Chains A and B, each alone.
Chain A
Amino acid sequence: MQMTVVGATNDAPVEDEADVALRARSISAWYGTKLAIRDVSLDFRRHSISAIMGPSGCGKTTFLRCLNRIHESALGARTTGEVMLDGTNIYDPDVNPVVTRRRIGMVFQRPNPFPTMTIFENVVSGPRYTGLSGNPRELRDIAEEALRGAALFDEVKDKLDDPALSLSGGQQQRLCIARALAVQPEVLLMDEPTSALDPLSTLKIEELMEQLATAYTVVIVTHNLQQAARVSHYAAFMLGDADRVGSVIEYAPTQQIFTHPTDRRTEDYITGRFG
Chain B
Amino acid sequence: MIAGARLAASRRVSGLVGVILTGFCSALAAGLLILILGYVVVQGWGAINPAFLTQLPHPVGVSGGGVANGIVGTLIIVALAMLMAVPVGVLTGLYLAIYGRGLTAECVRFLAEVLSGVPSIAIGLFAYTILVQPFRHFSGLSAAFAFAILMLPLMIRTSEEAIRGVPTAIREGALALGLPDYGGVIHVVLPAARPLIVTGLLLAIARVTGETAPLLFTAFGSEFWELNPGNPMATLAMQIFKYAISPYDDWHRQAWGGALLLILAVLVLNVGARWALRGRAKRS
Tell yes or no: B18 within 8 A of A by CB.
no
Known contacts A129-B187, A165-B283; A114 and B170 CB within 8 A of each other: yes
CA distance A126 to B179 in the complex (A): 7
Please give, as numbers and ranges, the residues of chain A lying within 8 Å of B46 by CB-CB distance: none
- CB of B173 within 8 A of CB of A102, answer no
- CB of A108 within 8 A of CB of B172, answer yes
- CB of A114 within 8 A of CB of B173, answer yes
Tell yes or no: A70 within 8 A of B by CB.
yes
Please give, as numbers and ranges, the residues of chain A lying within 8 Å of B175 by CB-CB distance: 70, 73, 98, 101
Tell yes or no: B101 within 8 A of A by CB.
yes
CA distance A104 to B204 in the complex (A): 44
CA distance A186 to B70 in the complex (A): 63
Please give, as numbers and ranges, the residues of chain B lying within 8 Å of A126 by CB-CB distance: 177-179
Count of CB-CB pairs between chains A and B under 8 Å: 78
Interface of B is mostly: helix
Please give, as numbers and ranges, the residues of chain B lying within 8 Å of A105 by CB-CB distance: 176-177
Tell yes or no: B72 within 8 A of A by CB.
no
Which interface class (under 10, 10 to 19, 20 to 34, 35 or more) fits B? 20 to 34
Q: How does the 8 Å CB contact mask read for B148-175 relative to A, with 1 for contact and 0 for none? A: 0000000000000000000101101111
A101 closest partner in B (C-beta): B178
Identify the interface centre among B101, B175, B183, B283: most chain A CB within 10 Å of its CB. B175
CA distance A100 to B187 in the complex (A): 20
Please give, as numbers and ranges, the residues of chain A lying within 8 Å of B178 by CB-CB distance: 98-103, 126, 130, 183
Please give, as numbers and ranges, the residues of chain B lying within 8 Å of A73 by CB-CB distance: 172, 175, 181
Q: How does the 8 Å CB contact mask read for A83-109 relative to B, with 1 for contact and 0 for none? A: 000000000000000111111011011
- CB of A75 within 8 A of CB of B177, answer no
Nearest chain B CB to A13's CB is how many angstroms away?
27
B180 closest partner in A (C-beta): A98
Q: How does the 8 Å CB contact mask read for A153-185 relative to B, with 1 for contact and 0 for none? A: 000000000000100000000001001100100
Tell yes or no: B192 within 8 A of A by CB.
yes
B172 closest partner in A (C-beta): A70
Please give, as numbers and ranges, the residues of chain A lying within 8 Å of B125 by CB-CB distance: none
Please give, as numbers and ranges, the residues of chain B lying within 8 Å of A226 by CB-CB distance: none
Please give, as numbers and ranges, the residues of chain A lying within 8 Å of B283 by CB-CB distance: 115, 165
- Chain A residues numbered 99-137 whose CB sits less than 8 Å from any CB in chain B: 99-103, 105-106, 108-110, 112-117, 125-126, 129-130
Tell yes or no: B119 within 8 A of A by CB.
no
Tell yes or no: A194 within 8 A of B by CB.
no
Please give, as numbers and ranges, the residues of chain B lying within 8 Å of A101 by CB-CB distance: 175-178
Known contacts A115-B170, A116-B192; A70 and B179 CB within 8 A of each other: no
CA distance A180 to B283 in the complex (A): 22
Nearest chain A CB to B259's CB is how many angstroms away?
39
Please give, as numbers and ranges, the residues of chain A lying within 8 Å of B101 by CB-CB distance: 75
Show 20 A/B contacts (Cβ-Cβ < 8 Å), sorted by A.
A68-B176, A70-B172, A70-B176, A73-B172, A73-B175, A75-B101, A101-B178, A103-B178, A105-B176, A108-B169, A108-B172, A108-B173, A112-B167, A113-B173, A114-B191, A116-B188, A125-B174, A126-B179, A129-B177, A130-B178
In the complex, the 3 A-B pairs of residues with the closest C-beta atoms, listed nearest first: A102-B178, A106-B176, A126-B177
